[in-house]
């Protein structure tokens, strides 16, 4: 019966409509309770901004491609090394840190829950192995289905219930969380070196279009009653003029769930490009934001680009090859049979590069032009747009027009002609930031029912206490204080334990992995479907018996069960 | 006799997972679907019996508790310990090894540094366009084996994943798929190839460069013969590569350890890169030990570097050629070593083996090997895949759980290493 009392906290908790109240937060056995008597530990949080623990709903921290990012980049490893100290293990890496590096740095910023954005189910065991060594955050893994042959066949046959059964089997087998589509159809086409162009033309070898994949997957996802919606990386990523494809996609999205969105559209910065080539490249963030504002069924994350070195990594294999042909540095590609693919290249975003400057502006425009902060999540698609350690700077840019203007002055001189950013006066509020960094994530991921994202009775005691006095800080002027304040918490509390104090992590941690297990009727249970089993054993290079990830890989796990409506 | 299906073979990087074992009276009596080498491992008899320690030049029997204490003493007494091997054990044990090395401030290295280390150096320069083996099985209409001889070293590679493996887009693989073998001698694999390119020893780099030049429209520059290969054949092979729908290049230590070393691999990767501008092409190193790739994976996520990781500065430091096991031993730099799941005495240069002999050495292994007699302390352990379980990474990066079939009473590598690590923490007051 371990107890903790956080006293005099300045709390913003958007899920509970708490905006700047001075409160005490009582914790017993890792949960927030109404009150504790004679607490074992007391924290005086007077004058400190206190938020629910941060949630990153789209990051790349663990798994095959992330690890290959480390493997192929000793130069990145040298860029961020710390030695063993107290409970903290040695770390390496800047844009792709080691698992401990990710965990400590996120914890330092008050993050307690992380969603790995892309896990090939065949390689899921690897992601879970790395989760074990990410001790201070709860972890979830979106599971890739963009090129899944069984799923594509079911869509081609118009059998949506079978599609749902297939999703259910893979999610449970991979111990995955959400359904992820990366360049749907495009990663399959990349199997023979091709790609797709937007959503209307049939993909090679299957008589279906990316549009059908997206819409049918959304319908099947909702049939399974999963906590999260389909999580989509749209087609045509990074291509000038792709905003039309993005709008086309958004126009096809049905509104099927009254608790949350039907579509989580990720790293939208990379999908909001105007122009017909890099020569007339420009921002179309206004058009995209306008579309999102009209569609409550869509939530986006911004995929903010920040300047400096980073490593890009995605399941979108053809896109990475195209990007490699622009950058000429080094290129790794890894196609996963019957499922998906991936690519990795290092990049350097430069202020003096016009395209990069426009990309930076687009992310901020999205962050400011989407009216409802609940529909606009702050993320860099770590590490694609920038390493997550840049989040405090992104927050400051969204809160301060003065800071944006000052930064804008340092960019390529032609940027102003291609973007709307200098004309945008809006400055995000403290409440907006609390929504965009944790509350919106908790709702979009369906984690509120599991105690995530809020600070009242029944919640998991994941708490971030920042050394920022809201009453005496003007974010529009004092943006340096915002950056420093959000960079290092005074305390990060994970399930009631203080895991990080002023940047020093003080515990080995004991996190959980959240995964879904949808129950489907026997007719759609692929584990007993002879056609599925035979096809599996014929075409995979691994036996079906050896494919599912056992619970021994997960340690403390939270199995999110659902009953499918099939 | 009891039959157990879908077992995973812990011998080579193919990690075949369709093996059937026959069990009788608590021991494996037969294997099915297994190659001869895997069969020999499953039926292996030369197990070490119990921990022994060399005292005054003589071996004495000790208990596991005493072995753990002795290992801790040896490692903590050293100024520059080397923890070497790891390729024949499971990932969970490798993780403990990394934690242990962090406490010791030593060097941890795997057999990678004497096999595909050069491949990794090349990948670190130019990347790695690869894929999983099933992608090759289902799609590849052209397969190249360069500097490797799968029929003898990875006996089921061709039947499970390439030449003889029917796939989704090739329902008669043997007819529909072309195989090219590049080697310095006509191996068993070369005999079944559609095209055999015999190059003079040390000529790989020149041949790769010639192929790249032809692909880039510079065939005029190529002389009539390159490293013993005729221009006609080079032109023909370049055309085969360019016009296939999906090509897969596999390469072995015949390329990585030949003259030119990592530059050869770099050239091969860049050839594949060039080919991707014409068609789809991938490249895969033929990894030897069943979990040598796993050691690279584990070291990467825990330390940031795939092999040869030096913690003597407190932070992870990596400089192959300086922090690789061979170099540390050849310079007589390390003053104690722990050798686990590998047999360096069978493969290292003589000077390095002498250094292993001359310093306190702990051998953790299930079987007798050329290395075990040189040890001061032998700790027998279970064989992962027979009497212990754990995670392994196939040559294409696919993680597979290697299973336990029986209980022999031996501790697993993870158990023994964890005990050593815990004791180390205790002694150091951490």
Distance from the Cα of B72 to chain A's closest Cα (Å) equals 20
Between CA A228 and CA A247 the distance in angstroms is 22
Q: Supply B237's token pair.
A: 């092979």
Enumerate the residues of chain A whose CB falls inside 8 A of the CB of residue B318.
74, 77
Q: Supply B425's token pair.
A: 């923490």
> What are the residue ranges of helices labelled H in A224-353?
243-251, 285-294, 317-327
* Closest CA in chain A for residue B120: A72
**In order of start, what are the domains of chain B with their CATH numbers?**
47-115+290-428 (3.40.50.740), 117-285 (3.40.228.10)
- Residue A73 to residue B124, Cβ atoms within 8 A: yes
**CB burial string B184-198: b at 16+ within 10 A, e below:** beebebbeebebbbb
The pLDDT score that the predictor gives to residue A510 is: 78
Q: Where is A493: in which H helix or E strand? A: strand A491-494
Q: Which residues between 80 and 109 in chain A have a beta carbon less than 8 angstroms from any beta carbon of chain B?
A: 81-84, 89-93, 97-101
Q: What pLDDT digit, counting tens, does each position of A296-313 carry?
A: 999 999 999 999 999 999
Enumerate the residues of chain B whose CB falls inside 8 A of the CB of residue A92.
303-305, 315-316
Angle between helices B261-275 and B117-126 (to 10 degrees): 50
The pLDDT score that the predictor gives to residue A1 is: 72
Nearest to B129 by CA among B278, B329, B276, B330: B276
**Separation in Å, CA A519 to CA A166, A194, A226, A526, A533:** 12, 36, 10, 11, 19
Would you tell me how many other CB atoms lie within 10 Å of the CB of residue A559? 13
* Length, in residues, of chain B: 430
What are the φ/ψ torsions at residue B310 (nearest 5 degrees)?
-110, 120
Between CA B297 and CA B307 the distance in angstroms is 9
Among the partner-chain residues A64, A84, A335, the one whose CB lies closest to the CB of B135 is A335
Among the partner-chain residues B5, B126, B401, the one whose CB lies closest to the CB of A550 is B401
Q: What pLDDT digit, counting tens, does each position of B176-209 carry?
A: 999 999 999 999 999 999 999 999 999 999 999 9
Enumerate the residues of chain A whose CB falls inside 8 A of the CB of residue B305.
70, 74, 77, 92
pLDDT band for position A507 (cuts 50, 70, 90): confident
Spatial neighbors of B181 by CB under 8 A, at least 6 apart, are B144, B145, B146, B187, B189, B190, B193, B195, B196, B197
Determine contact, residues A445/A55, Cβ cutoff 8 Å.
Answer: yes
Distance from the Cα of A237 to chain B's closest Cα (Å) equals 20
Between CA A165 and CA A146 the distance in angstroms is 16
Q: Supply B196's token pair.
A: 């055999």
% of chain A exceeding 70 in pLDDT: 100
| DSSP track, A467-482 | S--GGG--TTT-HHHH
Nearest to B168 by CA among B141, B131, B194, B205: B141
The pLDDT score that the predictor gives to residue A508 is: 81
Optimal mutation site among A62, A67, A81, A90, interface B, most CBs of chain B within 10 A? A90
The pLDDT score that the predictor gives to residue B377 is: 98
- pLDDT < 70 stretches in chain B: none
Q: What pLDDT digit, counting tens, does each position of A166-224 carry?
A: 999 999 999 999 999 999 999 999 999 999 999 999 999 999 999 999 999 999 999 99
- Residue A192 to residue B280, Cβ atoms within 8 A: yes
- pLDDT value at A403 more than 80: yes
Q: What pLDDT digit, counting tens, does each position of A410-459 carry?
A: 999 999 999 999 999 999 999 999 999 999 999 999 999 999 999 999 99
The pLDDT score that the predictor gives to residue B55 is: 95
- Residue A333 to residue B245, Cβ atoms within 8 A: no
Nearest to A439 by CA among A426, A456, A417, A416: A456
Spatial neighbors of B141 by CB under 8 A, at least 6 apart, are B169, B170, B176, B177, B178, B244, B245, B246, B247
Determine contact, residues A344/A68, Cβ cutoff 8 Å.
Answer: yes
Average pLDDT rounded to a whole number, residues A502-507: 94
Between CA A520 and CA A224 the distance in angstroms is 8
Between CA A515 and CA A179 the distance in angstroms is 11
- Residue B102 to residue A338, Cβ atoms within 8 A: no
Mean pLDDT of chain A: 97
Between CA B316 and CA A549 the distance in angstroms is 31
- Residue A541 to residue B316, Cβ atoms within 8 A: no
Using only the alpha carbons of chain A, give its radius of gyration.
22
ipTM above 0.90, yes or no: yes
Under DSSP, is residue B423 helix (H, G, I), strand (E, B) or coil? helix
Q: Supply A156's token pair.
A: 């081609």
Average pLDDT rounded to a whole number, residues A471-497: 97
Enumerate the residues of chain B whose CB falls inside 8 A of the CB of residue A98.
300-304
Torsion angle defined by CA atoms of residues A460, A462, A465 and A470, in that order, rounded to the nearest 10 degrees: -60
* Closest CA in chain B for residue A99: B301
Determine contact, residues A300/A271, Cβ cutoff 8 Å.
Answer: no
Q: What pLDDT digit, counting tens, does each position of A23-58 carry?
A: 999 999 999 999 999 999 999 999 999 999 999 999
The pLDDT score that the predictor gives to residue B46 is: 87
Distance from the Cα of B312 to chain A's closest Cα (Å) equals 10
């Amino acid at each position: 019966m371990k107890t903790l009392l956080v006293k005099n906290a300045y709390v913003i908790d958007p899920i509970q409509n708490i905006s700047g109240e001075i409160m005490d937060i009582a914790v017993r056995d890792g949960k927030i309770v109404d009150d504790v008597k004679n607490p074992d530990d007391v924290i005086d949080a007077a004058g400190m901004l206190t938020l629910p623990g941060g949630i990153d709903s789209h990051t790349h921290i663990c798994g095959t491609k992330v690890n290959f990012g480390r493997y192929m980049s000793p130069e990145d490893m040298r860029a961020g090394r710390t030695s063993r100290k107290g409970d903290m293990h040695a770390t390496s890496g800047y844009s792709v840190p080691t698992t401990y590096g990710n965990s400590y740095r996120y914890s330092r910023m008050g993050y307690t829950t992380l969603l790995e954005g892309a896990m090939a189910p065949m390689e899921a065991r690897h992601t879970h192995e790395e989760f074990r060594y990410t001790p201070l955050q709860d972890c979830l893994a979106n599971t890739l289905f963009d090129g899944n042959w069984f799923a594509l066949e079911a869509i081609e046959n118009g059998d949506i219930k079978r599609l749902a059964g297939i999703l259910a089997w893979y999610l449970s087998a991979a111990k995955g969380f959400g359904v992820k589509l990366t360049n749907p159809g495009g990663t399959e086409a990349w199997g023979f070196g091709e790609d797709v162009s937007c959503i209307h033309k049939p993909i090679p070898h299957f008589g279906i279009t990316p549009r059908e994949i997206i819409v049918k997957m959304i319908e099947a996802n909702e049939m399974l009653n999963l906590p999260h919606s389909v999580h989509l990386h749209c087609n045509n990523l990074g291509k000038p003029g792709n905003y039309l494809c993005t709008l086309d996609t958004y126009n096809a999205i049905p509104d099927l769930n009254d608790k949350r969105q039907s579509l989580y559209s990720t790293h939208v910065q990379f999908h909001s490009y105007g122009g017909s080539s890099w020569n007339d490249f420009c921002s179309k963030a206004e058009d995209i934001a306008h579309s999102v504002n009209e569609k409550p069924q869509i939530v986006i994350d911004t995929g903010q680009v920040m300047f400096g070195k980073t490593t890009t990594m995605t399941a979108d294999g053809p896109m990475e090859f195209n990007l490699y042909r622009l950058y000429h540095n080094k290129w790794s590609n890894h196609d996963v049979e019957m499922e998906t693919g991936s690519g990795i290249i290092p990049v350097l975003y430069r202020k003096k590069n016009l395209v990069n400057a426009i990309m930076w502006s687009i992310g901020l425009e999205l962050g400011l032009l989407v009216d409802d902060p609940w529909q606009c999540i702050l993320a860099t698609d770590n590490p694609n747009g920038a390493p997550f350690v840049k989040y405090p700077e992104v927050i400051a840019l969204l809160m301060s027009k003065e800071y944006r203007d000052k930064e804008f002055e340092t960019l390529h001189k032609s940027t102003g002609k291609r973007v709307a950013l200098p004309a945008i006066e809006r400055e995000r509020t403290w409440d907006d930031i609390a929504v965009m960094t944790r509350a919106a994530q908790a709702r979009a991921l369906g984690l509120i029912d599991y105690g995530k994202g809020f600070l009242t009775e029944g919640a998991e005691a994941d708490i971030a206490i920042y050394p920022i006095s809201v009453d005496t800080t003007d974010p529009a002027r004092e943006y340096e204080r915002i950056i420093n304040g959000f960079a290092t918490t005074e305390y990060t509390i994970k399930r009631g334990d203080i895991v990080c104090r002023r940047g020093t992590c003080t515990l080995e941690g004991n996190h959980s992995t959240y995964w879904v297990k949808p129950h489907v009727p026997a007719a759609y249970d692929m584990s007993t479907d002879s056609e599925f089993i035979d096809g599996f054993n014929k075409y995979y290079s691994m036996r079906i018996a050896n494919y599912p990830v056992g619970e021994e890989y997960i340690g403390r796990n939270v199995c999110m069960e659902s009953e499918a409506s099939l | 006799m009891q039959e157990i299906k879908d077992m995973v073979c812990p011998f080579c990087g193919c990690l075949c997972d369709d093996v059937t074992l026959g069990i009788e009276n608590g021991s494996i009596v037969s294997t099915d679907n297994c190659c001869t080498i895997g069969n020999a491992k499953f039926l292996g008899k030369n197990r070490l019996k119990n921990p022994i320690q060399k005292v005054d030049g003589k071996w004495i029997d000790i208990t596991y508790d005493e072995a753990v204490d002795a290992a801790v003493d040896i490692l903590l007494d050293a100024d520059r310990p080397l923890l070497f091997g790891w390729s024949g054990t499971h990932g969970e044990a490798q993780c403990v090894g990394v934690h242990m090395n962090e406490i010791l401030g030593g060097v941890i290295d795997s057999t990678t540094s004497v096999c595909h280390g050069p491949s990794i150096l090349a990948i670190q320069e130019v990347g790695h366009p690869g894929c999983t083996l099933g992608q090759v099985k289902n799609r590849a209409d052209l397969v190249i084996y360069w500097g490797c001889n799968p029929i003898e070293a990875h006996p089921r590679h061709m039947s499970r994943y390439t030449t003889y493996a029917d796939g989704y887009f090739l329902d008669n693989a043997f007819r529909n798929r072309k195989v090219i073998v590049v080697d310095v001698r006509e191996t068993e694999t070369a005999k079944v190839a559609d095209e055999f390119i015999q190059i003079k020893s040390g000529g790989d780099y020149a041949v790769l460069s010639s192929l790249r030049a032809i692909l880039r429209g510079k065939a005029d520059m190529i002389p009539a013969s390159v490293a013993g290969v005729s221009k006609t054949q080079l032109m023909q092979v370049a055309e085969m590569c360019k016009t296939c729908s999906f090509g897969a290049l596999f390469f072995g230590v015949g390329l990585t350890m030949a003259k030119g070393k990592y530059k050869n691999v770099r050239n091969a990767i860049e050839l594949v890169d060039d080919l991707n501008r014409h068609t789809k092409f991938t490249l895969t190193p033929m990894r030897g030990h069943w979990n040598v790739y796993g050691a690279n994976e584990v070291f990467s996520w825990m330390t940031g570097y795939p092999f040869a990781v030096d913690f003597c500065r407190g932070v992870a430091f990596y400089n192959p050629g300086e922090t690789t096991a061979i170099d540390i031993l050849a310079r007589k730099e390390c003053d104690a070593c722990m050798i686990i799941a590998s047999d360096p005495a069978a493969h290292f240069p003589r000077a390095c083996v002498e250094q292993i002999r001359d310093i306190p050495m702990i051998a953790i292994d299930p079987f007798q090997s050329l290395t075990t007699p040189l040890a001061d302390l032998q700790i027998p352990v279970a064989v992962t895949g027979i009497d212990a379980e754990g995670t392994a990474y196939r040559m294409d990066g696919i993680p597979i759980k290697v299973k336990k079939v029986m209980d022999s009473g031996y501790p697993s590598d993870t158990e023994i290493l964890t005990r050593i690590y815990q004791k180390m923490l205790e002694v150091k007051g951490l």
